[in-house]
Amino acid sequence: MKRRALIAGAGAGALALAACARKPASTGTVPSGKRFEWKMVTTWPPNFPGMGSGVNQLVKNIEAASAGRLRIKVYAANELVPAFEVFDAVSQGTVEIGHGAAYYWKNKTPASQFFTAIPFGMNVLEMNGWMYYGGGLDLYRELYARPQFNLVPFPAGNTGVQMGGWFNKPITSVDDLRGLKMRSPGIGGEVLKRAGGTPVTLPASEIFTALQTGSIDAAEWVGPYNDMALGLQDAAQYYYYPGWQEPGPLLECIVNQDAWASLPPDLQTIVELACSALNDQMMAEFFARNANSLALLEEDEDVEIRPFPDEVLRELRRYTGEVLADMVAAYPDVARVYESFSAYRGRAVRWSAISELAYLNTRNL
Ligand code: CA
């Protein structure tokens, strides 16, 4: 218990290490020869492009860097536990490690959603800035370290700004969202509810069938690369952008705290660095492959790619403000995370305006 308490309280000390600038966790010691065989459960279909393939690479990197002292066997969603039981399986120690997205655990703790994506929130650069250098990771670890969760989280992947989703009818005003049953997890789903829609949270493996059979009217998943992997272009006609609901969603690795504490420092460092590498690598893969897949979708005569009207986005942003205000009032954990998130976002918006955004605009002159 003493060790767990130390880890839980470590915050910016032993655990919340910045990805790049830091001291090695272990210096001058001979690594223990003890071998570890772990199981990893994920919320993704087997070998799913981007997420599943990223996880496969993560465990290969950990095994190679540890000279085989830490081997991890990956189980896709439903192979060991269903997608939405990943959190419990790792928390309870059924398995040692998991990969998914924090907003899937909003029923465990609503504040978790800030560690994936907030509508009209931050893009990947801003999100990583908040995580590693803006206090986000400390709050994330503090929340997950609670005894009832017993987890250590690591940023471990990002899709970049997503698409707004697939619809079977044009969306010309916010009224068109009324009555719409849509796969839309996290706070984006709550915003849809304010607009009169019905949000549904489905794992990747169930989205295509639900959309094709009409059990849902619309679905957002990720972007061109991943949506084509599910075949969503064959289940709906209108493909809207941008993904206001998920501007830079962070994915997570979660490790059971007792399993984490059992690792010697060099293996802990290897796991942390491998997650950090995945965080970068997955974003690079999504960017490259989204660009390729977009070109294919633009040639598909059955698909219409459209921007949401500005008026729809303004209304959704207004609803987002209402949803966040209600959550802040209802949950002290949310209030605490929101304070850090919104203060950081304010500074990030200003810097992004005269850096990334200003540059992107110059390309369209
Ligand atoms: Ca999404």
The contacts of residue 290 (CB under 8 Å, 6+ apart) are 160, 223, 224, 225
Which pTM was predicted?
A: 0.90
The contacts of residue 97 (CB under 8 Å, 6+ apart) are 38, 39, 40, 72, 90, 253, 254, 255, 256, 259
- CATH fold, domain 33-158+247-299+331-365, is D-Maltodextrin-Binding Protein; domain 2 (3.40.190)
Per-residue tokens: 156: 């471990």
- CATH fold, domain 165-245+302-330, is D-Maltodextrin-Binding Protein; domain 2 (3.40.190)
Please say if the pLDDT value at position 11 is more than 80: no
pLDDT of residue 31: 67
Taking the centre of ligand 1 as the mean of its atom positions, its distance from the CA of residue 268, in whole angstroms, is 30
Alpha-carbon distances, residue 23 vs 15, 17, 269, 296, 326 (angstroms):
12, 9, 10, 46, 41
What are 64-81's pLDDT values in tens digits? 999 999 999 999 999 999
- Of 99-103, 202-206, 228-232, 315-319, where does mean pLDDT reach its minimum? 202-206
Taking the centre of ligand 1 as the mean of its atom positions, its distance from the CA of residue 147, in whole angstroms, is 30
Taking the centre of ligand 1 as the mean of its atom positions, its distance from the CA of residue 26, in whole angstroms, is 38
C-alpha closest to that of 200 among 225, 212, 224, 217: 217
Q: Chain-centre distance of CA 264, in angstroms? A: 28
Taking the centre of ligand 1 as the mean of its atom positions, its distance from the CA of residue 224, in whole angstroms, is 12
What are 295-353's pLDDT values in tens digits? 999 999 999 999 999 999 999 999 999 999 999 999 999 999 999 999 999 999 999 99
Taking the centre of ligand 1 as the mean of its atom positions, its distance from the CA of residue 221, in whole angstroms, is 4
- The residue length of the chain stands at 365
71 or 12, which is more confident: 71
Taking the centre of ligand 1 as the mean of its atom positions, its distance from the CA of residue 347, in whole angstroms, is 25
| One fold for 33-158+247-299+331-365 and 165-245+302-330 | yes
pLDDT of residue 20: 40
pLDDT of residue 33: 85
Contact present, 326 and 257 (Cβ < 8 Å): no
- Of 10-24, 29-43, 264-278, where does mean pLDDT reach its minimum? 10-24
Domain assignments of the chain as residue spans, ordered by start: 33-158+247-299+331-365, 165-245+302-330
Q: How far apart are CA 11 and CA 350, in angstroms?
A: 28
Taking the centre of ligand 1 as the mean of its atom positions, its distance from the CA of residue 188, in whole angstroms, is 9
Taking the centre of ligand 1 as the mean of its atom positions, its distance from the CA of residue 262, in whole angstroms, is 34
Taking the centre of ligand 1 as the mean of its atom positions, its distance from the CA of residue 261, in whole angstroms, is 33
Taking the centre of ligand 1 as the mean of its atom positions, its distance from the CA of residue 298, in whole angstroms, is 20
What are 179-207's pLDDT values in tens digits? 999 999 999 999 999 999 999 999 999 99
Taking the centre of ligand 1 as the mean of its atom positions, its distance from the CA of residue 219, in whole angstroms, is 9
Q: How far apart are CA 137 and CA 153, in angstroms?
A: 8
Q: pLDDT grade, residue 5 (50/70/90)?
A: very low
Taking the centre of ligand 1 as the mean of its atom positions, its distance from the CA of residue 258, in whole angstroms, is 31
Token pair 């995945």 is found at: 278
Token pair 């295509």 is found at: 208
Taking the centre of ligand 1 as the mean of its atom positions, its distance from the CA of residue 220, in whole angstroms, is 5
224 or 5, which is more confident: 224
Taking the centre of ligand 1 as the mean of its atom positions, its distance from the CA of residue 359, in whole angstroms, is 26
Taking the centre of ligand 1 as the mean of its atom positions, its distance from the CA of residue 60, in whole angstroms, is 27
Q: How far apart are CA 254 and CA 250, in angstroms?
A: 13
Alpha-carbon distances, residue 360 vs 274, 286, 309 (angstroms):
31, 19, 21
